[in-house]
Amino acid sequence: MILSALLTSVGINLGLCLLFFTLYSILRKQPGNLYVYAPRLVDKEKSQQQESDDFDLERLLPSASWVRNAWQLSEDQILSISGLDGLVFTRIFTFSLKVFTIAGVIGISILLPINYFGNQLSDDFSHLPNKSLDSFSISNVNDGSNRLWVHFSAAYIFTGVVCYLLYYEHSYISAKRIAYFYSSKPQPHQFTILVRSIPSSSGRNFSETVESFFTEYHPSTYLSHSVVHRTSKIQDLINDADKLYRKLGFMKSNNDSQQNFRRDGFLGLTGRKVNLLDRYEKKLEDLEDNVRKEQNLLAGEEVPAAFVSFKSRFGAAVALHIQQGVNPTEWVTERAPEPQDVHWAFFSASFIKRWIFKLVVLVASFALIVLFLIPVVIVQGLANLDQLEKWFPFLKGILSLTVVSQVITGYLPSFILQLFLSFVPPIMLTFSAIQGYISRSQIERSACSKMLWFIIWNIFFANVLSGSAFYLVNVFLEPKNIPRVLAEAVPGQASFFISYVVTSGWTNLSSELFRLIPLVCSFWKRLFSGKDGDEFEVPSIPYYNDIPTILFFGLLGITYFFLSPLILPFLLVYFCLGYIIFRNQNSGFERQ
């Protein structure tokens, strides 16, 4: 890739970022978009008051006040609004900015000039815009040059700085966690463990077995227990009742009584008008009756799992960390999740069944990684015009156009790869959900790990090694040559990853701010139902998708710090955007 192709990609993505920022600064001011851009304020009933629908020119003018508000937000405010998870998430950007600011100073001021003035790569380009990006990498430094000691020295200095910053950040977050733990009230789940694979006993049900076991082996700390029942139908009824309760709460808090009436025909457009408030209250009463009937039918529907509570946290910790029986597949203990975090699907699954599901997920994840190599190969073909002309000779005339070649090599490969990659997070979340976890947080954590490994293997290594079939042959036939192969292949893909940071990093973060899908869904609801808040829930940041992406960009920065320091300014822009945007998201999207 030449420099002008990179600048073309930067221009396209910078224009998209400015477009998203402008649209966001306008749409956030519109009263109808409160549920999209100010969900936490709506949830706290700070924005439930009736707003004026009179025309206001200021609502149609973009402004940057949200940037200032996000910048001025303190960590204590983030902690009170988003909790410890939100604070730690924003600290990732703070840490990354510290690391890559130091790396940028060293890389741009020292390493980049040394790379550029090398003459290892011979080319005929006389103008800077036509310079290959490889001219700015370590590949341009002569083999055995005395200047290479500067790169090694910079790598050691950078490693020492990163280790120190990691130690400081770990100490800071640990102190915050301890302070948060001591400042919060004791919660029931901290005194409780989950026991699964309870062995069946003749003549006794699971409740009596659990009572007998823990009374005998934990007599001084055992308090009580609650056996899990098969309550899938009851859970569905409770979920329906919860949705109706939220609808009723919203309608009663709304001063506009006209919105409580709706036609009962197709899409609320035909039929007679009915009072939705009365209808929902009647449905809620019926659901409560059905729940009571189902609860009376629970006898004999126990599953081999129970929540066991203890008199102290110490007693719960002892029972959690010791093996309860001779057979390690029985009396399996786990930390009890928070009540709102419970995932009920696999409570009745046996140890063998959960193990089989984990094996199936492992095979499916590997198959997904293999299948994803297809778009990776396509992307690498687009990034190499010579190879693309060999595949499609009839495109030679079009590819000879400067603008077309710059767009194809500078923008299109990263865009296509990101398009395919957008389908992966939901798949990984589904894979984690069927592994037998008992809490949603465990599912998201597992999906986060899967996404991280997927990105590292399929975006980093696959792109590095798919540049030439010779590399792949060497890796599989002679594994001892892997370090040498990577040393040759990694610097050669610097231009692709620089473009990837610009396309996937900048534009994706801007689209996170714009929230296109929730905006379209909100508009659709208002268009056909006349209201937007019946089933309103405060959205959460998809950590399982965002954290692996951030870590991957950190990996690119550390890898190419001395190999191709030209990537560092683009990474700094990405982390600055992430710092502002996610602080704004964690603040509750407050409108000023």
Tens digits of per-residue pLDDT, 99-131? Answer: 999 999 999 999 888 888 877 665 544 555 566
Asked, for residue 493, whether it belongs to a domain, the answer is yes
Q: Are residues 313 and 364 in the same domain?
A: no
Are 136 and 184 contacting, i.e. CB atoms less than 8 angstroms apart?
no
Instruction: Please report the pLDDT score of residue 315 as a whole number.
Output: 93
Is 549 or 144 the better-scoring residue by pLDDT? 549
Same domain, 233 and 368: no
366 and 477 fall within a common domain? yes
Number of domains in the chain: 2
- Reply yes or no on whether the pLDDT at 452 is more than 80: yes
Residue range 277-283: mean pLDDT, rounded: 71
- Residue 124 is predicted with a pLDDT of 47
Q: How far apart are the first and last CA of the chain?
A: 44
Q: Does 252 score more than 70 pLDDT?
A: no
Single out the residue of 570, 445, 454, 580 nearest to residue 512, CA to CA.
Answer: 580
Q: pLDDT at residue 474 above 60?
A: no
- The confidence score (pLDDT) of residue 467 equals 54
Arithmetic mean of pLDDT, 43-69:
64
Q: Which of 316, 350, 384 corresponds to the end of one domain?
A: 350
Q: Do residues 263 and 396 share a domain?
A: no
Q: For the chain, what is the radius of gyration of the CA atoms? A: 29
Domain boundary among 315, 350, 385: 350
Q: Pick from 350, 365, 388: which residue ends a domain?
A: 350
- Residue 277's CB: how many other CB atoms inside 10 A? 15
Co-location of 80 and 212 in the same domain: no
* Residue 575 contacts residue 103 (beta carbons within 8 Å): no
Question: Do residues 449 and 467 both lie within one domain?
Answer: yes
Q: In terms of domains, do 244 and 384 share one?
A: no
Would you state the pLDDT for residue 529? 56
Do 487 and 527 belong together in one domain?
A: yes
- Rounded CA-CA distance 437/302 in Å is 19
Give 55's pLDDT tier (boundaries 50, 70, 90).
Answer: low
State the residue range of the domain holding 218. Answer: 189-350
Residue 591 lies in a domain: no
Same domain, 249 and 109: no
Predicted TM-score (pTM) of the model is 0.79
Q: How confident is the model at residue 84 (pLDDT cuts 50, 70, 90)?
A: confident
pLDDT the model gives residue 15:
87
Do 564 and 93 meet the contact criterion of CB atoms below 8 Å apart? no
509 and 410, same domain (yes or no):
yes
